[in-house]
Structure 1
Amino acid sequence: MKKAAAMILLMAMTILLASCSQGADNKTGSKTKTVDDVLQQQTATTVEATTSASTVKNNNTNKKQADVDLTELSSTMVYSEVYNMVSKPDDYIGKTVRMNGAMAMSKGNNQVYYACIIKDATACCSQGIEFVLKDGSYPAEGTDITVFGTFNTYKEGEYTYCQLKNAVIEA
C-alpha cells in the first residue's frame, strides 16, 4: 500500500514538473528555456522591483538611490544578479550599485584589493565585488559593510575585473 501511494505521488510530481517546465515556443518547436533565459527574465523583474523598492526606501532616508540595490533582494536573487554583473559587465558599467556583506582584503601584484563578499542563504556560494573607496579609509577585514559605488571594469594583463569605484561605506 505504501509503495502504491509513493508511486502515485511520484507520478503526480513528475506530471507537475513536466507541465511547469514548458515555456514559450521557439523556432525549433522546443518548449524549454535555458538558464540564461530564466536569469534574463528574473533580472528584468529584479531591476524593476529593485528600482521601485530603492525609490521607496530612498524617499524615506538620506541614502542615494542605486540603479542596482542588492540590499533589497533575496539571497537567491542577489546570487543571480551578481552572476549577471560578472558575466555581462558591459550591461552594468556606469550604474550605481549598493551591496552589503563582509569586508575582505587580498594582496597581489604589489597591490591590496578590497571587496564586499556576499554569502548566499546556505553560505556555500560566496560572491563578491571589488571596490575602491573615495576616502581610502577601509574598515577591518570581516566587518559587515554596505557599499555604494559606480560599477566599472578594468584590465590587468589579459583579464578583465569588475569593481565599484568612487565607493563609500554607508552607515
Structure 2
Amino acid sequence: MKKLQKWLILFVGILLITGCRDNASSNKKVNNGKSVNDVLEKQTKAEEQKEQTEEKDKKKESTDTSENTETEDVDYDLTEMNSDMVYATVYQMMMEPEQYEGKTIRIDGNYYISKDEATGNTYHFCVIKDALACCAQGLEFVRKNEEELSDEDYPEQETEIIVQGTFETYKEPNDETLYCRITDADMQIKK
C-alpha cells in the first residue's frame, strides 16, 4: 500500500510541476493558413474582375460586330462570341430578360422541335452547345410568317442553323411562367 501511495504522490507531483511551467511557448499561435474571409474576399474580387472583363469584351465584340455588318443592326451577335461569353449572355437573358426585351439577337446552334400534346402548340428551338457539351442552352424562336410555313420549311432535327430576330418574353394562357423567345426570326441553315 505504501508503494502505491508513493507512486500516486510522485504522479501527482509530476502532474503539478508540468502544469505550472511557463506557457510562453504554447501561447504562440501559428496561423500560416488563410481565413475563410480571406479566401471569400479573394474569390469575390476575382469574380468582379472577371465580370468587368466580360462586360468589356461584350462591348468590344458588340462594337466589332456592328462595324463588320453595315447593313444589319444586331444588338447581341452570339455567333461572334466565345463559348464562355455565349453561356454567360444566354444565362443573363434567362435571369434578367427585361434588359434584352426588344433587342436584336443572332445565335447559332442545332435545330430542335417540340410539340405540346396538351395544347397542340409546336415550338422551335436553337440549342447552343458549349465546348464540353455539358451545359447546352437554347432559345425558342418564331419565324416571320410562321402561320404560312409548314414542316417542310424547317430542317431536320440537330441541323446547324443561324437564327436572328427580336428578343421577347411571353406567358402562355393559364400559365404564370415567363418564357423567352426570338420573334420575327430569320433562320438559315449553317454552311
Q: TM-score, normalised by structure 1?
A: 0.73
1:43–1:81: 8 Å Cα contact kept in structure 2? no
Distance in 1 of aligned mates of 2:47 and 2:177: 23
Give yes or no for contact 2:127–2:137 (8 Å, CA) kept in 1.
yes
**Could you tell which deviates more after superposition, 141-150 or 38-47?**
38-47
User: For each residue in 1:33-79, what CA deviation from the matched residue of structure 2 results, as whole angstroms up to 9, or x when unmatched?
Assistant: 289856753553243123212123213xx5x2310010011111100
Identify, as 1 or 2, the structure richer in strand.
1
* Corresponding residue of 1:160: 178
**Corresponding residue SS for 1:115:** strand
Partner of 2:19: none
Q: TM-score, normalising length from structure 2?
A: 0.66
The SS at the match of 1:80 is helix
Tell me the amino acid that sits aligned with residue 187 of structure 2. Answer: I
Over 3 Å counting, the alpha-carbon distance change for 1:159 and 1:58 in structure 2 is same
Identity in percent: 38
State the alpha-carbon separation in 1 of the partners of residues 92 and 47 from structure 2: 9
Deviations 1:135-157 (A, max 9, x none): 33332221111100000000120
Q: Deviations over 1:90-149 (max 9, x none)?
A: 000000000000001111131010010000011111000000000333322211111000
Choose the corresponding residue for 2:142, options 132, 136, 141: 132
* Residue in 1 that maps onto 2:90: 82
Q: Does 1:111 pair with 2:127?
A: no
Equivalences for residues 8-157 of structure 1 within 5 A: 32-33=43-44, 37=48, 41-42=52-53, 44-59=55-70, 64-108=72-116, 109-136=119-146, 137-156=153-172, 157=175
SS in structure 2 of the partner of residue 159 of structure 1: coil
**What do you get for the CA RMSD once the two structures are aligned?**
2.8
Residues 46 and 106 (structure 1 numbering): CA distance in 2 closer, same or farther, change over 3 Å?
A: farther
* Counterpart residue identity of residue 69, structure 2: N
Following superposition, the deviation at residue 170 of structure 1 comes to 3.8
Distance of 2:188 and 2:105 partners within structure 1: 12
What is the CA–CA distance in structure 2 between the aligned matches of 1:35 and 1:147, rounded to whole Å? 34
Aligned partners of 1:146 and 1:43: how far apart in 2? 23
Any gaps of 5 or more consecutive residues in structure 1? Answer: 1-13, 23-29
How many residue pairs are counted as aligned between the two chains?
A: 144
The letter of the residue matching 1:82 is V
CA contact (8 A) 1:54 1:65 kept: no
